[in-house]
Amino acid sequence: MTIGIIGSGNVGRALGQLFSHVGEQVIISHRHGVASLAPVIAEMRSTVEAGTVADAAKQDIVVLAVPFNALPELPTSVDPKTIIIDATNYYPSRDGDQPALAAHQVTSSELVAKHFGTKKVVKAFNTIAMTKIRSLAKPSQPAGRIAIPIAGDDNAAKQTVTTLIKRIGFDVVDLGSLSDSYPAQADGPLFLFAGDADQVRAQVQH
């Protein structure tokens, strides 16, 4: 299984490091040339390579680590087997007014799935601060793990993402389908909430 990461900022770098620490093959990308990723690659283990956005989008799992407003600029053609992890958040102040999102008529991850024309989108990692994620990961300690909320419309894709999240040292709480992912959005009760699985489930009710 290979992982492509689109975006090499806080999220792209933190997840690239966590994935490479458990031996995953990763291609990380951003808008600029591949050579400009040299300082990013230098922080990572040897299983991480620099690539173009098109290279990253061809991998088995593609992590979106870009501002939500970059969505229209991303490729739309991915292999039907590709799983997309949506780590983005929609912030009106950064990403512009989108009345349907503000009115909770649709979740931001449903718009991501619509853009890529696939059901294999799993929302994950968007609630956790990247300044903390590396210190919260417990890859060799199954007890007392922080839980990452996920949501998605394809159960097999969610299972694959669950396995990956557990490998890097977190538990998982499945919120349901993408249309159930409001609690994990930037205006929801799980945003920046760090707790174990029971605490995350309780927080959803807040």
Ligand X SMILES: NC(=O)c1ccc[n+]([C@@H]2O[C@H](COP(=O)([O-])OP(=O)(O)OC[C@H]3O[C@@H](n4cnc5c(N)ncnc54)[C@H](OP(=O)(O)O)[C@@H]3O)[C@@H](O)[C@H]2O)c1
User: Using CB under 6 A, which of 3, 6, 50, 147 touches ligand X?
Assistant: 6
Nearest residue (CB) to ligand X, 19 versus 68: 68
Nearest residue (CB) to ligand X, 87 versus 165: 87
H or E element, residue 173? strand 171-174
Q: Which residues from 96-155 bind ligand X, rule CB under 6 A?
A: 125-126, 129-130
Question: By the 8 A CB rule, do 85 and 66 touch?
Answer: no
Tokens representing residue 50 in the block: 């620099």
d(CA 145, CA 138): 7
Distances (CA, A) of 20 to 79, 178, 194: 23, 28, 23
d(CA 80, CA 89): 24
Q: Which residues from 38-97 bind ligand X, rule CB under 6 A?
A: 53, 65-68, 70, 73, 87-89
The answer to whether residue 160 forms part of the interface with ligand X (CB under 6 A) is no
Question: By the 8 A CB rule, do 6 and 61 touch?
Answer: no
User: CB of 162: closest distance to ligand X in angstroms?
Assistant: 18
d(CA 75, CA 53): 8
Q: Report the residue closest to ligand X, judged by CB.
A: 9
The answer to whether residue 203 forms part of the interface with ligand X (CB under 6 A) is no
Tokens representing residue 6 in the block: 């689109």
User: CB of 110: closest distance to ligand X in angstroms?
Assistant: 16
- What type of residue is 14? A
The answer to whether residue 37 forms part of the interface with ligand X (CB under 6 A) is no
Question: Applying CB under 6 A, what is the total number of residues that bind ligand X?
Answer: 24
Nearest residue (CB) to ligand X, 132 versus 142: 132
User: CB of 14: closest distance to ligand X in angstroms?
Assistant: 8
Residues near ligand X (CB under 6 A)? 6-12, 30-32, 53, 65-68, 70, 73, 87-89, 125-126, 129-130
